[in-house]
Amino acid sequence: MDRFKVFRIHVDGNAVRAGFETLALDDLAAGEVVVRVAYSSVNYKDALAATGAGKILRRSPLVGGIDLAGSVESSTDARYQSGDAVIVTGCGLSEVHDGGYAEYARVPGDWVIPMPPGLDARLAMAVGTAGFTAALAIQKMELNGLLPGTGPVVVTGASGGVGSMAVDMLSGRGYEVVAVSGKADADEYLRSLGAGRILRRQEIDFGKKPMERATWAGAIDSVGGATLTWLTRTMEPTGSIVSIGLAGGAELNTTVMPFILRGINLLGVSSSATVRALRLLVWQRIATDLKPRHFDKLIAREIAFEHLPDVFAQYLEAKVIGRTVVRIGER
């Protein structure tokens, strides 16, 4: 492990340069646990960071990749032993700390999640931050009273990474799932994951009144903007919306009426900032009652590490359906 391959991002003013480099362990950000990375994944946030399309990095240079899974190479944290299978997602990877696009990563012990029985490195990265976010959203809605049978749950941006995982997890839990997508070619894919009904985003009547017909018991929204406003107008009494993205805009133009007359909940999720106890619980659920049933469909592609730079543009152009798994340390 004298030197190893990483995908590293440099930011100089408004200029971003990213590519493969060779580093030594001492070049990485500090941490108690060294992980031999087997797999990572590609998220929209990774594409923003690697291309400079979004200001993700808060220090430079950094190794990219907000997800990683592999085995412990060495640890000064007594909770982990050499060979332990582990996961790290979010927690500042590729924002303030060197990330998972590397043959070896070094991270703080509190960020490390033991691999739950029922998952392995490849499946954990098929889930990744996207699936963790979806599972966290379901956990929050259920804590606020959502149960299978209470009514339909709508998922916006349903063909994306978070949306796909949410459709699969919700349908597996027995929820009636309605998928909202702007991609006509994703219909068969979404139905195969368990969507009972599909709404074309372009055909939705967003309404103008503070409250429209009560329709949804729950909602997972990755779009924001007018879509999130529409959801506040159309929730059933005591229904919960989880906001997890802003692909359609950061503004929210609504009134307090749905909140005080229907008692709806608008819940936020920050997967990166999730406390460890909740992170452990949610990963246990991902390996059990929220385990995706259709990994063969959710994994859109598996790429070798050297092909990583080829995929970022497709994420920025919203051409990706499902998840991309990056094979780093296993052949």
pLDDT digits over 125-159, tens only?
Answer: 999 999 999 999 999 999 999 999 999 999 999 99
Q: Which fold has domain 4-115+294-327?
A: Quinone Oxidoreductase; Chain A, domain 1 (3.90.180)
Q: pLDDT per residue over 232-289, tens digit each? A: 999 999 999 999 999 889 999 999 999 999 999 999 999 998 999 999 999 999 999 9
* Average model confidence (pLDDT) across the chain: 96
pLDDT at 331 over 60: no
Contact yes or no for 69/286 (Cβ under 8 A): no
Written as one string, the DSSP assignment of 178-222 is EEEES-GGGHHHHHHHT-SEEEEGGG----SSSS----EEEEEES
User: Quick one: average pLDDT of 117-124?
Assistant: 97
Query: Distance between CA 329 and CA 256 in Å, rounded?
Result: 51
The CATH 3.90.180.10 portion of the chain extends over 4-115+294-327
Q: What is the pLDDT of residue 14?
A: 85
The CATH number given to 129-271 is 3.40.50.720
Contact yes or no for 2/24 (Cβ under 8 A): yes
Geometric angle at alpha carbon 277, from 165 and 325, rounded to 5°: 30
The CATH 3.40.50.720 portion of the chain extends over 129-271
Task: Give percent above pLDDT 90 in the chain.
Answer: 91
Contacts of 170 (CB under 8 A, 6+ apart): 138, 153, 155, 177, 194, 220
Alpha helices in 215-268 (DSSP H): 225-234, 257-261
Q: What is the pLDDT of residue 330?
A: 64
The greatest distance separating any two alpha carbons of the chain, rounded to the nearest whole angstrom, comes to 64
Q: pLDDT per residue over 45-90, tens digit each? A: 999 999 999 999 999 999 999 999 999 999 999 999 999 999 999 9
Q: What is the pLDDT of residue 309?
A: 97
pLDDT at 1 over 80: no
Q: What is the pLDDT of residue 318?
A: 83
